[in-house]
Amino acid sequence: MPIYFDHNATTPLEPRVLEAMQPYLTGPYGNPSSVHRYGRAARDAVEAARAQVAALAGAQAGEVVWTSGGTESNNLALKGATAAAAATRVLYGATEHPSVLESAESLAARGWQVETIAVGADGLVDWPAFAAQLARAPLCIAALMAANNETGVIQDVARAGALVHGAGALLLSDAVQAAGKIPLDFAASGADLMSLSAHKLYGPKGVGALLVKAGVELVPLLHGGGQEHGLRGGTENVAAIVGFGAAAELAQQELEARAETLLALRRRLEAGLAALPGAAIFARDAARLPNTVQFGLRGWEGEALLMALDRRGIAVSSGSACSSGKGQPSHVLLGMGLPRDVAFGAIRVSLGKDNTAAEVDRFLAVLGELRLAAAA
C-alpha cells in the first residue's frame, strides 16, 4: 500500500467535506450577489461557511475575507497594507513561505525597504535582534508565520504582535499550516491579519481566507463587483467556500483528537529516527506542529532520498513542495544557519490524521534499508 506523508503540501479531501460541497456543485444554486431565491440560498451557504471558518480561527465572521488560498491571502495582506500606508518599510521572517517573501521582495523592487527577521538555529525569532530592528526606522508591516511548513516550528506570534504594535505597525501571521493542527485565537493572537488555506485541512484546493481586524486598511488586489466589502471582487466560489467551512468545522471538532494521534505518530517516528545512525532532526527541541518532522540522513541528498522513497511507494517532501525540484537548498534551513550541504539533505515528513503506526514503522524500515544501501 502506498504511504502518503506529505500533508503539509496538501491533504486529501475529507469525504464529509465533499458531501457538504456536492449540492453546490450540481444543484440549482445562484450567484450569491443575486437577490432571487437561488442567489439568497448561495449567500446563506457562503455566510454559514464564514461563521465556521471564523470559529476555527477564533475570529469574528465579519473579519473573514475569502480568497483563492494562502498565496493570495499573503499577497493581499502585504501588498494591500503597504499600498494603503505611509511608511515604506516591511519586515518578514527568514523562514516565511515564498508567498510572503516574494510578495515582500516585489515591494523592494518598487523602492520599499524590505528586511528579513533573523531566526536562530532552532528556527525561532532572534528577539533582541528583532527589537533592535523595529527601533531603527518607521515600519508599515511585519510578517511572522504561526507555524513553519518545513520544520513545523511554532513562533510566538503574540510576542511579535506586542513588539510590532509598539512600533506602530501591523502584523501579518501566516497560519496556513497552523490551522486545524494547533488552536488558533485570532482575537488574542497579536496579529492584525492572518492567512488560512482550506486544502491544508482536508478541504478543497483553491480557496482560503484572510482574516482582517477591524480598522486595518487594505487596498484590494482584485477590483470588481464589490464582493467581500470591496476587498476582493469576483463571484464567490460557493462550493469551495462551503467545503472550507465544513472542513473548518470538522477540524475544530476533532482538533484535540487529531493532534493527539499525530503527536503519538510523530514521537514514534522521532524515536525511530533517533535510533537510526546518521539521522538528524532539524529544530528538534523547538515547539513544533504535532505532524511535522524534518530531518537529514547522512550520505543522502534530499531529492535522491525522496525519489528512492517514491520508488518504494512512500510520498514525502524535500523541503517545501514549492522549492523542491529547483535544485536549491531550503531557504528555511539556510535561514536557520545550517550549512548548504546539510540543507540539501533535508526530507520532510508531514503526517495526516489517517496515517497509522504501521505506516511509520514501514517508513523507518525502508529508511534503514536505504541507509545500509548508501553505506555499502
Q: List phi, psi (to 5°) of 141.
A: -150, 145
Chain-centre distance for alpha carbon 9: 9
* Residue 177 contacts ligand PLP per CB under 6 A: yes
Stretch that binds ligand PLP, among 63-71, 122-130, 179-187, 246-254 (CB under 6 A): 63-71
Catalytic residue among 51, 263, 304, 322: 322
In the shown chain, the binding pattern of residues 92 to 111 toward ligand PLP, with x for contact by CB under 6 A and - for none, equals: -----x-x------------
Q: How far is CA 7 from CA 86, 255, 348, in A?
A: 39, 16, 10
For residue 32, the minimal CB distance to ligand PLP (Å) is 21
The residue (of 14 and 297) whose beta carbon lies closer to ligand PLP is 14
Taking the least distance from each CB to ligand PLP, the nearer of 350 and 370 is 350
Among 53, 63, 70, 296, binds ligand PLP (CB under 6 A): 70
Q: With contact defined as beta carbons under 8 Å apart, do 201 and 247 qualify?
A: yes
**DSSP letter string, 321-337:** TTTTTTT---HHHHHTT
The stretch near ligand PLP (CB under 6 A) out of 116-124, 157-165, 173-181, 221-229 is: 173-181
Does residue 155 interact with ligand PLP by CB under 6 A? no
Q: Among residues 167 and 242, whose Cβ is nearest to ligand PLP?
A: 242
As a whole number of angstroms, the distance between CA 162 and CA 296 comes to: 35
Closer by beta carbon to ligand PLP, 69 or else 345: 69
Q: Are 76 and 221 in contact (CB under 8 A)?
A: yes
* Distance (Å, whole) CA 249 – CA 122: 33
Nearer to ligand PLP, 41 or 145 (CB): 145
Q: Is 324 in the site for ligand PLP (CB under 6 A)?
A: no
| Cβ–Cβ under 8 Å, residues 74 and 100 | yes
Angle, helices 238-274 vs 37-57, to 10°: value is 30
Interacting span for ligand PLP (CB under 6 A) from 86-94, 154-162, 170-178, 234-242: 170-178
Binding-residue total with ligand PLP (CB under 6 A): 13
| Chain residue whose CB lies nearest ligand PLP | 70
- Cβ 208 to ligand PLP, closest distance in Å? 5
Q: Are strands 346-350 and 292-297 parallel, antiparallel or unpaired?
A: antiparallel
* Residue that has been written with the C-alpha cell 472550507 in this structure: 244
Rule CB under 6 A: is residue 208 a binding residue for ligand PLP? yes
322 is catalytic: yes
Rounded Cα–Cα distance for residues 102 and 181 (Å): 26
Contact 364, 149 (CB under 8 A): no
Contact indicator for 374, 345 with CB cutoff of 8 Å: no
Phi/psi at 185 (nearest 5 deg)?
Answer: -140, 85
Q: Nearer to ligand PLP by C-beta: 97 or 232?
A: 97
Contact region for ligand PLP (CB under 6 A) — 17-25, 171-179, 223-231, 361-369? 171-179
For position 71 contacting ligand PLP by CB under 6 A, the verdict is yes
Q: What is the contact mask toward ligand PLP in residues 225 to 264, using x (rule: CB under 6 A)?
A: ----------------------------------------
Cα torsion 13, 19, 23, 25 to 10°: value is 20
Nearer to ligand PLP, 98 or 368 (CB): 98
Q: Does 11 bind ligand PLP (CB under 6 A)?
A: no
**CA dist 296 → 102, 214, 245, 373 (Å):** 27, 44, 37, 16
Shortest distance (Å) from residue 180 CB to ligand PLP: 12
Q: Which burial class, exposed, middle or buried, applies to 15 when counting CB atoms under 10 A from its CB (0-12, 13-18, 19+)? A: exposed
Site residues (vs ligand PLP, CB under 6 A): 69-71, 97, 99, 145, 149, 174, 176-177, 197, 199, 208
Active site (catalytic) residues: 322
